[in-house]
Amino acid sequence: PHRRPMVSKQRFAADLSRCLYDFVVQLLPTPEELAIKEDVRKLLERLIRTIEPESRLLSFGSTANGFSLRNSDMDLCCLIDSEDRLSATALVNMLGDLFARETKFHIKPLPHARIPIVKLSLDPKPGLPFGIACDIGFENRLALENTRLLMCYAMIDPARVRTMVLFLKVWCKRRKINSPYKGTLSSYGYVLLVIYFLVHVKNPPVLPNLQQMPPLRPISPEETNLNGHNVWFFDDINLLRERWQSSNIESVAELLMDFFRFYAREFLYNVSVVSIRAGLLTKESKGWDNDPDRGTARERNRLCIEDPFETDFNVSRCVTRDGLFTIRGEFMRASKILSTRPERAIVALAQLCE
């Protein structure tokens, strides 16, 4: 019996790219879902303003950065522009009572969490088959900025960047490696891995480094300082679209194959730090390799992903030894499936997300 000849790499990549686009499009939130979520945001903002008239309720996370899938949760951040505002703990308690009185949401105030939040949820019903899950936090201005940064990256090359990121988000959920509470990586962490790969690993790069581009006018450090962090990045998207033309013409499937190969085999997890701000860094240079209090620092830094603005914060500090082992195993599995190039790309896709 003779083996079937392998599909050519070009044909497989072309098929897979088309499958990836089709797959991801089906998973985008519907306009109705987006409208319902915006109504919820407005309703909650109105209620909060009965307590804090100077407040605004803003979306961040996937609902605001262009990487949202159908039924993803809502991340909301409450900003209060007055001097003598209540503490987050007091606000969480008061808003918990207010929402319980005035809305149909299930309410869970967490006033004593490390970051105090109010959790709200709505049961599924016709027209809203998965209900709504929403967290409201306070004054998390850095999260609003990193959301804007990711949104800008998404907008530079939406066809490739959004498709890759959205696919990866589905993939890591289906493969059950997307739970910081269980020792694996947050969605935010996976998005940073993709952006890093497109800015710093691909040559020629698919994306520019928005944090290192020269500003259009001189900017003073005070202007860009937020809680001691430099949050400047080149955010003039219209100008960027005019000026930035990547000479990388790889298809989304080729990029995805290379992404899996890179994180399966090339990236040096023991010594390296992923930084979209500065490129490849070492754990040593950041002091993330030492072992001061009996192993905890090293335990926290198995996988190192530097936050783009809060640069002393390792986004993947929740990833445990076992978690990293599992994640790497999944990168290897994915890489292997794609390198066998099944006759039909759709089969590879189904297998990837099994």
Does 62 help bind ligand CTP (rule: CB under 6 A)?
yes
Does 61 help bind Mg ion (rule: CB under 5 A)?
yes
C-beta of residue 226 within 8 angstroms of C-beta of residue 141 = yes
Minimal distance in Å, beta carbon 175 to ligand CTP? 14
As given in the structure block, the two tokens for residue 54 are 């100077």
- Site residues for ligand CTP, window 210-239 (CB under 6 A)? none
Tell me the sheet residues that pair with 230.
Answer: 225
Report the candidate in 307, 297, 51 with the shortest Cα–Cα distance to residue 192.
Answer: 307
| Residue 316 DSSP one-character state | T
**Cis omega (within 30 of 0) for bond into 204:** yes
Minimal distance in Å, beta carbon 101 to ligand CTP? 28
When binding is defined by CB under 6 A, the residue of 59, 187, 251, 326 that contacts ligand CTP is: 187
Report the number of secondary-structure helices (H) and strands (E) in the chain.
13, 9
What is the total count of residues that contact ligand CTP (CB under 6 A)? Answer: 18
Does 342 help bind Mg ion (rule: CB under 5 A)?
no
Q: Which does 17 bind (CB under 5 to 8 A by kind): ligand CTP, Mg ion, none?
A: none
Cα–Cα dist 144/287, whole Å: 27
Report the candidate in 139, 135, 43, 41 with the shortest Cα–Cα distance to residue 82.
Answer: 139
Minimal distance in Å, beta carbon 290 to Mg ion? 32
Q: Which does 147 bind (CB under 5 to 8 A by kind): Mg ion, ligand CTP, none?
A: ligand CTP
* Total residue length of the chain: 354
Alpha helices by DSSP H, listed for 134-186, are: 141-156, 158-174
Does 135 help bind Mg ion (rule: CB under 5 A)?
no
Minimal distance in Å, beta carbon 75 to ligand CTP? 5
When binding is defined by CB under 6 A, the residue of 40, 57, 143, 334 that contacts ligand CTP is: 143
Cα–Cα dist 83/14, whole Å: 57
Q: Which does 314 bind (CB under 5 to 8 A by kind): Mg ion, ligand CTP, none?
A: none
Looking at residue 33, its amino acid is E
Does 183 help bind ligand CTP (rule: CB under 6 A)?
no
Helix (H) or strand (E) holding 182: none
Does 189 help bind Mg ion (rule: CB under 5 A)?
no
- Site residues for ligand CTP, window 17-56 (CB under 6 A)? none
The binding site for Mg ion (CB under 5 A) comprises 61-62, 73, 75
Site residues (CB under 6 A) for ligand CTP? 60-62, 65, 67-69, 72-73, 75, 143, 146-147, 169, 186-188, 315
